């Protein structure tokens, strides 16, 4: 069963207030990760790499997240990444792309 964001929001709204705030954040983050995955596919096409190459791509994104964290502390250089949320979405999207490939490959073996 596939659920739309509207379906999920309806379920969230019927839950306790303590869960509603968390769930709205979760939905927003996952929507942003999905949009980033779509953007990456538009920009780079459907990517498939060996795990070592994926690790290099992921670590590069983690490094940009670290730069953005440093900005909050007043460290780093003016050229460093500064939007921590955006960089974390990039990390999550790359990790998602890796997971997609792993899942795809595991399904082919069955």
Instruction: Give the model confidence (pLDDT) of 68-96 as tens digits.
Output: 888 878 887 777 778 899 999 999 999 99
| pLDDT at position 33 over 80 | yes
Long-range contacts of residues 57-64, Cβ cutoff 8 Å, at least 24 apart:
57/94, 58/91, 58/94, 58/95, 58/98, 61/87, 61/90, 61/91, 61/94, 62/91, 64/90
* Domain count along the chain: 1
How large a percentage of the chain has pLDDT more than 70? 96
Containing structural domain, residue 55: 5-109
Six-digit token string for 14: 């019927």
């Amino acid at each position: 069963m596939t659920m739309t964001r509207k379906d999920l929001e309806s379920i969230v709204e019927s839950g306790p207030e303590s869960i509603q705030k968390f769930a709205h954040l979760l939905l927003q983050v996952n929507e942003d990760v999905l949009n980033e995955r779509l953007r990456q596919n538009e920009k780079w096409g459907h990517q498939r790499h060996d795990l070592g190459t994926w690790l290099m791509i992921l670590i590069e994104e983690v490094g940009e997240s670290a730069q953005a964290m440093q900005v909050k502390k007043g460290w780093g250089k003016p050229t460093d990444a500064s939007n921590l949320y955006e960089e974390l979405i990039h990390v999550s999207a790359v990790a998602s792309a890796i997971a997609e490939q792993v899942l795809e490959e595991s399904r082919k073996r069955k």
